[in-house]
Structure 1
Amino acid sequence: MMSDRTARALWLGLLAAVSTVGVSGCTVFEVQPVQPWQRGDLARAEMALEVDPLLSGFRQHVEVSKEAARGGTALAGGGCGCN
């Protein structure tokens, strides 16, 4: 019968082997660049992070002034200093 230490070592070895195979499998597939005919799909308005940059700027200005903290859109907390 195997001891707990031996069983743990076998499981860790198996986990390391499976992880290595999984990660190496991800690197086998080559990332293809965006083809010219695909760029039109990616440039649509629906794909933009901000639909209206001017409106987004106004909203961010209001949030910053209401939160009393700079960068209130990207950080956690309520502007009072507590995170």
Structure 2
Amino acid sequence: MRHKILKISALLLLIQLAGCANLGVQPWERDLLAKDEMALDSEGNDLGLDDHIYFSKEGTSGGRAFAGGGCGCN
């Protein structure tokens, strides 16, 4: 009985180790991930709306990468 449990646990360990063999992105898969629709910010309308809201609140232009400020009372 003990040998059977040992064989089963060794088999389960090998299966678990084999599951980690395919981590990461292969070089031939990177072209698919570089497409515009795969980007986290692929929704252009949402980004435009977010920029408009940020501009209205902060009184700045751009807002994502530039520092600036204002009262927003325009």
Q: Same fold (TM over 0.5)?
A: no
TM-score by length of 2: 0.42
TM-score by length of 1: 0.39
RCO comparison, higher one (Cα < 8 Å, 6+): 2
